[in-house]
A and B are shown apart, each in its own frame.
Chain A
Amino acid sequence: MIDWGAIFSNAAVELISPTTAAYALAALGLAVHFGYTGLLNFGQAGFMALGAYGYAISTLTFGFPVWASVLVGIGASVVFALILGIPTLRLRADYLAIVTIAAAEIVRLLFTTNTFQPVTGSANGLSGYKGGFADLNPIPAGTYGFGPFEYNAYDWWLRIVAWTIVILACLFTWQIMRSPWGRVIKGIREDEDAVRALGKNVYAYKMQSLILGGVFGTIAGMIFVLPRAVVPSNYQTSLTFFVYAILLLGGAATILGPVIGSMIFWVLLSFFSGFIARAVEAGWLPFMSSIQAGQLRFILVGVAIMLIVIYRPQGIFGNKKELAFVK
């Protein structure tokens, strides 16, 4: 018989999981890029990888403290944004898409290759870098919480830090988007030549946006690896597509969209996989193996992306009039 309780509680757990927070922050970065500035960054996975590896390598290879490791990751992503932006931000929007996707793949391949195995761990990835972060934990050891939300001190610490960062990033983005800076950024999304004709250095603004959203992605990458290991195959192009799915679900030019989008995405995905897996076990879907059941979710995400873009381009939270798409 199907254990509905377990399915629901597993799904509920995703609501505040660090993974959900990481995806929310990465999607917020994309909102800055795509939703507000109209930059088609398809390399968010690369920014996330730089965060994850920047943090892990600084800690493991160089023995840096937490704050320095975080700064290294952020510094790496700023450099990455500059390398991406300098050649492409003067070009048509679709060039940026192709270059960012290519650059993210380059990053992933460089982390995967055996050539740098001693530092990157090649296909194995890295682990054992969590000590510094755990040492900062002020929560006394023990188990806290209720129902499905019962965690030990480290897990709570991780969730509190992750969501605090997400909230701060949301507040920051909300503030700058309602400032004159945000007005220029949105103007660029609508028509960059018009904004240029008004005396704004469009190139510099696009670069700032690329860096800002990229740094969000990088921090998201760090949050993402704190509950698990750094594994290079996690940073494939599909990761970027998942983040886009979340962004579109919530609404591209919104602040809360990425957050709620991420929650809905993970809760539904967990619910769906939990249900299918158990249904297969219970013999409800005799034609399907449990591996196949795992693939269904990708199909579902793909179809969902298509349907949202076609039928609800503004996402759940987007303003009906402000379709939030660059033309």
Chain B
Amino acid sequence: MLSLGLLLTAVTFSTLGAGAAHADEINTDQYDYVLSGNVQFDGEPIEDVLISVDGSGYEAEVVTDADGKWRIGVPEKETYTVALDEDTLPKGVVVAKGGSEIEAEFGLTKVKSVNFFLGEGERTTVSFFDQFVNRFVNGLNFGLLLALAAIGMSLIFGTTGLSNFAHAEMITFGALATLTLSVTMGLPIWIAIVVAIVLSGALGYGLDAAIWKPLRKKGVGLIPLMIVSIGLSLALRYIFQLFYGGGTSQLPGSGMADLKFGPISLSPIDLWSMGISVVVLLAVSYFLLRTRIGKATRAVSDNPSLASASGIDVDGVIRIVWIVGGALAGLSGVLWAYFRPGVSWDMGFQILLLVFAATTLGGLGTAFGALVGSIIVGLFVELSTLWLPSDLKYVGALVVLILVLLLRPQGILGRKERIG
């Protein structure tokens, strides 16, 4: 009874925090199969070397301990790619032979040891310019997929004033639906994606009809609405986890080999992704600028009371905005699943802040501002890895968000509002 209190709080917390990673051991108590190794050079252990494991839709990372040891638990008796991050080796040490990636296959035991052969030497690095171009194109790709989600969020914000935290789950939903339709139900991937987008649009419609419209009618304020969306986001996220588990799965075709275009390496999927984003964004622009409903949407964003006074069906417009926003978020989720790569229960939440940053950067509630903001965020995140360690790449984008707010509070394309 004595230590029960402490024990219980400790247990409570290890489940609350989303699985704290131990430096030298990860998921070893969770899974039966373990990959392990010992990083040494000249008989001396090397600490803090980053080892990552990837395979069968599972990813994990670990850092070697003071004895140079590491262990990673893996879910299945499958083949995994174990990679050693050469950037984390001390200066003058490189992987001598066998490469920094090793395919590991389990034998008869549940533990497989994987060792890298280190030697002295300098790494040959890709020229800065080539890296820059490559990162730039990646950033563009990322920015375009962010834009799909950000425009939806921005339209919703513009027409209803809601800062929708549950947008993250609309993103995740698209990817999860595609996963179920293609992998579980065996539909061809194209059909699965189209159906998933339709379902995402339906989700948007459903959320508006079931939650947001009644709350608007009830006259609930904007900040309570935002908090409701936070609660919704939390609930949906863990409902996803309940059904799909905490792991990562791959969509068909992800992990296709890269094609080389000079310094740029892109997979066919990346090309498709950018192409689809551009086409869809153009279609959305056409919708907003040229169609009657699109113009009505912008009118409602500008001034809802004026719009309704001039005979626009504000509720109808908002309904359409939710459907479009849901569908765009769903598509963005599918593309994000290929970009990461992998589908997981919290994938949307991982980029929610970046979507917010993009929307805010562009000016809250302006759809085209969201597009510009997304591209900036996307480029910034990818390009920052040229200078920052990759585990800090989101930091750059968030810092820029704060700086822009400081210099141009109304966002890049936004307008000031009136007082008095």
**Interface of A with B (CB < 8 Å)?**
10, 13, 17-19, 40, 86-88, 90-95, 97-99, 101-103, 105-106, 109-110, 112-115, 117, 122-125, 143, 148, 150-152, 155, 193, 227-228, 231-234, 236-238, 241, 244-245, 248, 269-270, 273, 291-292, 294-296, 298-299, 301-306, 309-310, 313, 325-327
Q: Nearest-CB distance from B393 to chain A (Å)?
A: 9
Residues of B within 8 A of A238 (CB): 234
Interface contact A234-B13, CB-CB below 8 Å:
yes
B231 located at the interface, meaning its Cβ lies under 8 Å from any Cβ of chain A in the complex: yes
Contacts A19-B9, A94-B364, A193-B419 given; does A114 touch B234 at CB 8 Å:
no
Interface contact B223-A326, CB-CB below 8 Å:
yes
Interface residues of B in 227-285 (CB under 8 A from A): 227-228, 230-239, 241-242, 245-246
Q: Nearest-CB distance from B47 to chain A (Å)?
A: 9
Q: Nearest-CB distance from A115 to chain B (Å)?
A: 5
Interface contact A309-B228, CB-CB below 8 Å:
yes
Q: Nearest-CB distance from B26 to chain A (Å)?
A: 9
Interface contact B223-A105, CB-CB below 8 Å:
no
Interface contact B401-A99, CB-CB below 8 Å:
yes
Give the 9 A-B CB pairs with smallest separation, nearest first: A302-B235, A305-B231, A302-B234, A87-B406, A306-B231, A298-B238, A102-B398, A123-B21, A234-B17
B116 located at the interface, meaning its Cβ lies under 8 Å from any Cβ of chain A in the complex: no
Task: Please give me the residue from chain A that is nearest to B234 by CB atom.
Answer: A302
Contacts A109-B392, A299-B235 given; does A114 touch B63 at CB 8 Å:
yes
Interface contact B401-A228, CB-CB below 8 Å:
no
B interface, size bucket: 35 or more
With contacts A94-B222, A244-B227 known, what are 12 further pairs, Cβ within 8 A? A86-B406, A88-B405, A97-B226, A115-B391, A150-B2, A228-B13, A238-B234, A244-B230, A269-B12, A273-B15, A296-B242, A302-B235
Q: Beta-carbon contacts of B2-44 to A below 8 Å, as 1s and 0s?
A: 1111101110110111111111000000000000000000000
Which of A18, A102, A103, A233 has the most chain B CB atoms inside 10 A of its CB?
Answer: A102
A13 to B7, CA, bound (A): 11
Residues of B within 8 A of A305 (CB): 227-228, 230-231, 234
Residues of B within 8 A of A95 (CB): 360, 405, 409
Residues of B within 8 A of A97 (CB): 163, 226
Q: Nearest-CB distance from B234 to chain A (Å)?
A: 3
Interface contact A326-B215, CB-CB below 8 Å:
no
Interface contact A273-B12, CB-CB below 8 Å:
yes
A76 to B267, CA, bound (A): 45
A101 to B228, CA, bound (A): 17
A97 to B227, CA, bound (A): 11
Interface contact A295-B238, CB-CB below 8 Å:
yes
Residues of B within 8 A of A234 (CB): 13, 16-17, 20
Interface contact A87-B405, CB-CB below 8 Å:
yes
Q: What are 22 A-B pairs at a CB distance below 8 A?
A: A13-B8, A19-B13, A40-B223, A87-B402, A87-B406, A94-B364, A97-B163, A101-B356, A102-B356, A102-B402, A106-B399, A125-B20, A150-B1, A227-B10, A233-B19, A234-B20, A241-B230, A241-B234, A301-B235, A309-B231, A325-B224, A326-B223
